[in-house]
Amino acid sequence: MFIDEARIRVKAGDGGNGCVAFRREKFVPRGGPSGGDGGKGGDVIMESSERHNTLVHFRFNPEYKADRGRHGEGSNRTGREGVDVVLKVPVGTIVYDDDTGEKVYDFSRPDERIVIAHGGRGGRGNARFATSVHQAPREHEDGQPGEERSFRLELKLLADVGLVGFPNVGKSTLISRISAARPKIADYPFTTLQPNLGVVVVGQLPDEQSFLVADIPGLIEGAHSGAGLGTQFLRHIERTRLLLHLIDVSDASGRPDPSQDVEVIRNELKSFGAGLEGKPVIMVASKIDVANKDKLDKLQRYCKKHALELYPISAVTGKGLEELKWAMAKKVRELREPELESAAASRPAEQSQQKR
């Protein structure tokens, strides 16, 4: 089950109360206030993990509460701190405050960790209030309550390449042939009801290159406004570097003009926003083993007119798959280079700040 949105409510632990106590021990000539402080309440922490890929564990268990701090005790003993609660989320999760709608954090890398609800501070015991003129205080503080908050979690997959196109154009078959992903494949529209991820590997060690491909459910006209399954899954290609647009050039689609198909999908991407229409794209003519020659010619003319790369393939026979994989790998490498250069440039600055 793929769950990409969830709402949770969290409660950090309350702080323990300070203690009122006086020291009266045999052979101790001077007693006095000895009430210890209360312990701090446990925090609620959220951490990104590569071992999780959906938010399904939050859908069925939406409430989390950290331990409260233990109360202070006599003999100046501080109460034990409450145990923190750590919530694991997939990389690509965005956390929003459910009450205000404000974005709290965007987990874009593994092992990132933030405190989403702070535990309450423990109260002071009466020993803290002793002074030279107030030697037997009976004052103490109660622990502060822990934060209680509601969040909305939204998962946007982090993939290098996103597959787009009409339903039943061969996206699931393609990802099953170029990676180890095994999506459901059938000869009717909307077979894919949830995104699928696959790792594609090209080349041999030590020059091997790998990248992640995301297959989302098929788009139809009006997808950006809710038709089909569009709005539910279009956000999963927001973070992709490259789009792979598949067009069915066989007669099975029932659509005679492939250039019209291209325009419909491009308009849906543009209408959805988030910069999808500006992403680099590679065009793929699928099902060329049963291609209609007129449709293929029309698509080739359209791509030439708009300076788009076109790769005819057959995922069934394997024709053109190697050429397509290498083209994808080359484009992904080119798109990754600026990010790697900026990361390398920022490293010396971070190291110099740490030395200071």
CA torsion sign for 223, 225, 227, 231 is: positive
Query: Which residues face 246 on adjacent strands?
Result: 284
Residue-by-residue DSSP string for 263-324: HHHHHHHHHH-TTGGGS-EEEEEE-GGGB-HHHHHHHHHHHHHTT--EEE--TTT-TTHHHH
Domains in the chain, please, with CATH? 5-155 (2.70.210.12), 161-342 (3.40.50.300)
Encode pLDDT of 187-243 as tens digits: 544 454 567 778 888 887 677 888 888 887 756 555 444 444 445 567 777 778 889
pLDDT given at position 347: 54
Q: Is residue 351 pLDDT above 60, yes or no?
A: no
- The arithmetic mean of pLDDT across residues 154-161, rounded, is 81
Region 24-44: what's the mean pLDDT? 88
Tokens of 33: 């206030």
Question: Is residue 123 scored above 60 in pLDDT?
Answer: yes
Q: Are the C-beta atoms of residues 274 and 247 closer than 8 Å to each other?
A: no
Q: Which residue has the higher pLDDT, 131 or 216?
A: 131
Query: What 3-state class would DSSP assign to 234?
Result: helix
Share of the chain above pLDDT 70, in %: 84
Which pTM was predicted?
Answer: 0.68
